[in-house]
Amino acid sequence: MSTAQANGVPDATSVRPEGDEALVRVRDLHFARGRKKIFQGMTFEVPRGKITTIIGPSGTGKTTLLKMIGGQLKPSQGSIEFDGQNVAKLNRKALYALRKRMGMLFQSGALLTDLSVFENIAFPLREHTDLPDSLISHLVLMRLHAVGLRGARDLYPAELSGGMARRAALARALVFDPMMIMYDEPFTGQDPISMGVLLELIHTVNHALGLTSLMVSHDLAEALSISDHVVIISEGVVVEAGSPEQLRASPSEWTQQFLNGSPDGPVPFQLPAPDYAFELLGTSTATGSDR
């Protein structure tokens, strides 16, 4: 397995004077749920200011990974560092302080269903600050405008389409100007226009605001089109990491099968099973006698 650093271009928005280019460092991560081993020694880095995508087949625990970076789950072994802090070792207060510097966009938006869109975005502000309503209103409208949903401010989540819900959730994730936004499967089930809108937003948000974006997806084409750095995971380990160009030129057969979407290759089409002729005829093909 390989780990790749960022492509050598210094990040102008980096705050750390030592020139630490990775915002998130995952080292030798192990995690199991019950008896099922989900991560078996993952190591990778998320460079600052860039869009990183974690790609892998469904069920490899990508959402779990985001939850672990956010501190909702603790690894059984290994460490996750966010901006130099070991996430698993923080107490509740420090963890909550850390979470204010991250935004997370869930697959379904995870908007609170009993609040309007406006109130949903205002929610973190109301909970964590004592800002007056007028100021909150300005902040919320700015974010709504950035995602193009000012006209939907009084709608309720039940009245939004999937794409609109994600945009609203993005506005909410941006409300504290976080250092990093995590996207959990943002492209799943979107029509082409919503897809285009989302791609545009993710790109703009990342570069205009100087954020770091971490996406988790199995929608290859979209993810590769906007990512600066890609990490491919499978079977609980990092298979390969690098820029989209580096991966396309990769010598690994597995990576090539994955990137091209070929039905057969290192991941075989036929699952392991007993001999077919034997199952059909009751004998092996050699003798040909029947029961």
Partner 1 sequence: MIDRVARFGRFWLDALERFGRAQLFLARSLGAMPSLIPRFPLLIQQLYASGVMTLSIILVSGLFVGMVLALQGYNLLQGFGAEAALGQAVALTLVRELGPVVTGLLFAGRAGSAMTAEIGLMKATEQLSGLEMMAVDPFKRVYAPRLFAGFLALPMLAAMFSAVGVLGGYLVGVEVLGVDAGAYWSNMQSSVAFVEDVCQGLIKALVFGLVVSWIAIFEGADCIPTSEGVSAATTRTVVYSSLSVLGLDFVLTAIMF
181 binds partner 1 (CB under 8 A): no
**CA 25/CA 76 separation, integer angstroms:** 16
Q: Which of 18, 127, 279, 290 binds partner 1 (CB under 8 A)?
A: 127
Please name the helix (run of DSSP H) or strand (run of DSSP E) that holds residue 155, with its range, or none: none
Does 162 contact partner 1 by CB under 8 A?
no
Name the one range near partner 1 by CB under 8 A: 100-108, 210-218, 234-242, 273-281. 100-108
- If the CB atoms of residues 217 and 255 are measured against partner 1, the closer one turns out to be 217
User: Is residue 249 a contact residue for partner 1 (CB under 8 A)?
Assistant: no
- CA 31 to CA 146: how far, in whole Å? 37
Residue number, 96 or 278, with CB nearest to partner 1: 96
Q: Site for partner 1 (CB under 8 A): which residue of 106, 118, 183, 258? A: 106
Given the rule CB under 8 A, which of 31-39, 78-86, 93-101, 223-231 is the region that contacts partner 1?
Answer: 93-101
Task: Confirm or reject binding of residue 33 to partner 1 (CB under 8 A).
Answer: no
* CA distance linking residue 63 with residue 57, whole number of Å: 12
Answer yes or no: are the C-beta atoms of 276 and 269 closer than 8 Å: no
Closest listed residue to residue 275, CA positions, set 285, 287, 266, 263: 285
Element (H, E) at 23: strand 22-33
C-beta of 82 vs 258, nearer to partner 1: 82
Residue closer to partner 1 by CB (options 72, 284) is: 72
Task: Between 4 and 62, name the residue whose CB sits nearer to partner 1.
Answer: 62
Question: Counting contacts by CB under 8 A, is residue 89 touching partner 1?
Answer: no
CB of 106 to partner 1, least distance (A): 5
- Verify binding: residue 256, partner 1, rule CB under 8 A: no
CB atoms within 10 A of CB 194: 17
**Can you read off the two tokens belonging to residue 46?**
């998320």
What's the CA gap between 216 and 54, in Å, rounded? Answer: 5
Closer Cβ to partner 1, 60 or 120, answer by number: 120
Tell me the window of 101-109, 134-142, 214-222, 236-244 that interacts with partner 1 (CB under 8 A): 101-109
Instruction: Determine, following the binding rule CB under 8 A, whether residue 72 of this chain makes contact with partner 1.
Output: yes
Q: Which residues contact 77 (CB under 8 A, 6 or more apart)?
A: 28, 29, 30
Q: Is 67 a binder of partner 1 (CB under 8 A)?
A: yes
The rounded distance, in Å, linking the Cα atoms of 260 and 182 is 26
| Residue carrying structure tokens 């600052």 | 48
Distances (CA, A) of 93 to 79, 84, 117, 226, 255: 19, 17, 28, 35, 41
110 binds partner 1 (CB under 8 A): yes
Binding partner 1 (rule: CB under 8 A), the pick from 7, 107, 137, 243 is: 107
Site residue total, partner 1 (CB under 8 A)? 23
Nearer to partner 1, 71 or 244 (CB): 71
CA angle (120 as vertex; 145, 114 as ends), nearest 5: 140
Smallest distance from partner 1 to CB 61, Å: 15
In degrees and rounded to multiples of 5, residue 243 shows phi and psi of: -75, 160
Rounded Cα–Cα distance for residues 215 and 212 (Å):
10
Contact residues toward partner 1 (CB under 8 A) are 67, 70, 72, 96-97, 99-100, 102-104, 106-108, 110-113, 123-124, 127-128, 169, 172
